[in-house]
Amino acid sequence: MMKYAGILLIKFIACLIAFAVGLDLFFDATYLDIFSFSLLTTIMSFLIGDRLILPYFGNTSASIVDFLLAYTSVWIFGSILLNNYMQIAWGSIISAVIITIAEAFIHQFILNRFPDVQTNRRTKMRANHKLAYNAEFSEDHDFNDKKE
């Protein structure tokens, strides 16, 4: 886990910047709100996006999952904490776009720096192309036409 400490720090700083832009410019978000959103999004995107999705499906899928995680978490928790349901959508879209751009570079860094992630990539999800499919042919039996 210590080898991922630098990545977690970079992800956390990217989330801090994204939420400072997305939430502080449009809303009266406190530093505690920005810090808590950054911590929540960093942990969720690392566990789900980087550890589960990235090794098996690649950078594009992991970036899409990170966008959806950032957007929904900020929209749900932001509407509760900031008492505004529809306007928080713009702040969460802006934050999610900034986080997704940063995550694309972080994913490339992870794939280049850690070879164990690269070797596991798409090997477990590959279909077996040597399967032989056979068709079964037979005659249909009509029980109404009995031969006598």
Q: CA-to-CA distance for 74 and 11, rounded, in angstroms?
A: 16
Nearest CA among 1, 20, 9 for reference residue 95? 20
The answer to whether 96 and 71 have CB atoms below 8 angstroms apart is yes
Tell me what pLDDT residue 57 has. Answer: 87
99 has a pLDDT exceeding 80? yes
pLDDT tens readout for residues 31-60: 888 898 899 999 999 999 888 888 888 888
* Domain extent listing, the chain: 2-119
Task: Choose the most confident range, by mean pLDDT, from 66-75, 76-85, 88-97, 125-134.
Answer: 66-75
pTM of the model: 0.73
127 versus 17: the higher-pLDDT residue is 17
Q: CA-to-CA distance for 145 and 33, rounded, in angstroms?
A: 79
Q: CA-to-CA distance for 62 and 99, rounded, in angstroms?
A: 12
